[in-house]
Structure formats: C-alpha cells, structure tokens
Amino acid sequence: MIKLLTAYKNFNDPVLGNVALNRLGLHANRMRIANWLNRFRCAQVRGGSDPAVKSLSENGYAVVKNFLPQDLFERLADEAGRALEKAEAATPIGFNDKPGFGQKQDFNWGFQRYDGGTLNRFVNIDDAAMPAIAEFKRNARLSHLVRKGVGITMSPNHYWIYTTVHGDETANPDIQKALHRDTFFSSIKFWFYFKPVTLEEGPFVYVPGSHKLTRPRLKWEQDKALVASQSRFAPKRQTNGSFRIEEKELTQLDLPEPKAMPVVGNTLVIADTLGFHRRGDGVPGSRRVSIYGNKRPWPFWPVPR
C-alpha cells in the first residue's frame, strides 16, 4: 500500500494494478491528488512575469530563443562539442538491432542506451573542466522555470550533454517516437540546443495543452488504467504506466495536433511531460545535441523546495 504514496507507476504491482480498485478510480484519483499538490507547490513559488512561465503553464511547454548571452553560449558550445568528440573517439557510434528499450551501458565518459535503433548518449559534465556549462547549470531563469513547473529545485546531478542519433524506423522502431506521457504526475524535461535542429533531425514534438487534467483526459486515463490492470498478467502488454496515445485519439480529448519544434542554436525547450510528446522523426543517422536535464519530483510533496 505504501507504493500509493510514491512515484511508482507500474501496473504489474498487485495494488496499483488491482482491477477492482481501478474500477473505483484508483489511478484517476492518484492523478488528481498529485496534480492538485503540484499546483499548490507551484503557487507558492514567487516571482516575475516571465512569458516562458506563462507558456509552460498554459501550453505545457516553452521555447526560449537567445537564452544565453552570446559569449557564454559560444563558450558552452565549444565545451560541449569537445566533450562529445572525446566520447565518440573513445566509443564510436554503433548500431543496435534489438527491439524495445535497451539496457544502460556505462562508460568512463557517461552512459548510453538505445530505444530501438535510436541511440541516446549522455556525457557527464565536469564542472571544473567545463566552467561555461557549470554556469549554465546555475542559470537563475532556468531554475525559476523548473520551480514554476513542478515546485522543486533542479539537482546539479541531473544535467548531461545529450546526443540523439536516429536509427532506421523500418528496421528497428523507436517507441519514443510514439506519442506518450511519461508518468501520472507533472515532471519537467528541458533541452538547451547549442546546435540547430531541423525537421530532418527529429525535433521535439508536443501536444499543446495536453498537460491539463480535463474531464476527457481523466476518462482516457481511467480507461487506459483498466486495460493495463486487466492485462497485467498477459505477455507483451503495456503495464509500465507510460501510456501511449494514437494521434487520431487527440480530437476525442479536445486536443490539437502535435507541434514539432525545430530550433536554432542557443534555444531552450522546456516541457511538462505529463503532456503528450514524442521524439520527432529524424533521417537515419541524423543527430540532435543539447544540454539536457530533468526533474521528476515526489508527486505527493506539498511545499516547494
């Protein structure tokens, strides 16, 4: 029962995946409580009239161009580029033919894993050797955006230099390219792009407004929870709680079409991943690079910190 008060979301759990409890609304009520507490936390965070805060609240995401002063941006891009080159020299970009979410692979420079044929490479940040990136991690505006999104301060350990290398979808599909939401409560992810991302390089895709727990959304969640709990003993069924949605279902939830976000360098993209999102469709072999961070708070914490 203690798992009800945690971030645990897997419907293989005998309580979270209990059919009778989910018929009574267990999953939807968990979402309601977590959502109310998130809004309560965020309301206590003081400060400003940043238009990015308004966009994050209303749309579920914000795009901020020219995020850093030019000098700092250039120094950051240089540090990140050199770190990526060093990691690739030590561990060349490979190929994966195993389906699904791959196992995490650790290296001296960080770690990587595959989503189908797509490589996700996370390079560690050494603050002493990368002073410009360390300064970015202390950015007051970024910190404020995260706190206004989930009411919790970013951890200094939750930043990486991140490379996505797109695989061939016809050979080994990437499940992250299907619309989904990460978990049952609000969490923040952001990407600071120090190189442009074109449509051919698979930009971030988000459904505006889909982070809001409307009545149609909660009904959809309830239905998905019942399916997941009823099928938790069946092989190859989705029970991990990161629910997928078909694009054709969005109109039933009164939601607009997904929006792709190609960007220029020196752009921050930040999103509440309770909203539906996906990795964009990139040309095989194309890359997307950024400074990446995430904050997934304990959903039932009542006060900001």
Q: What confidence tens digit (pLDDT) does each residue in 212-227 have?
A: 999 999 999 999 999 9
How far, in Å, CA of 210 to CA of 253, rounded? 9
The reported pLDDT for the residue numbered 239 is 59
Q: Is 111 exposed, middle or buried (0-12, 13-18, 19+ CB in 10 A)?
A: middle
Residue 243 lies in a domain: yes
Residue 304 lies in a domain: no
Here the tokens at position 268 are 């921050």
- Where in the sequence is the domain holding 215, given as residue range(s)? 2-295
The reported pLDDT for the residue numbered 268 is 98
102-138 pLDDT, tens digit each: 999 999 999 999 999 999 999 999 999 999 999 999 9
Residue 275 lies in a domain: yes
pTM flag (> 0.85): yes
CB 230 within 8 A of CB 19: yes
How confident is residue 291, by pLDDT bands cut at 50, 70 and 90? very high
Q: What is the mean pLDDT of residues 179-193?
A: 97
Residue 300 lies in a domain: no
**Paired strand residues for 277:** 180, 206
**Phi and psi, residue 188, nearest 5°:** -115, 135
Residue 302 lies in a domain: no
Residue 210 lies in a domain: yes
Per the prediction, the chain carries an average pLDDT of 94
- Which one is predicted more confidently, 234 or 229? 229
Say if residue 49's pLDDT is above 90.
no
How confident is residue 233, by pLDDT bands cut at 50, 70 and 90? low
- How many independent structural domains does the chain possess? 1
Q: Is 192 exposed, middle or buried (0-12, 13-18, 19+ CB in 10 A)?
A: buried
Domain CATH code at residue 276: 2.60.120.620
Beta strands in 34-158 (DSSP E): 61-65, 105-107, 110-115, 118-123
How confident is residue 238, by pLDDT bands cut at 50, 70 and 90? low
Residue 12 lies in a domain: yes
Radius of gyration of the chain (CA): 19
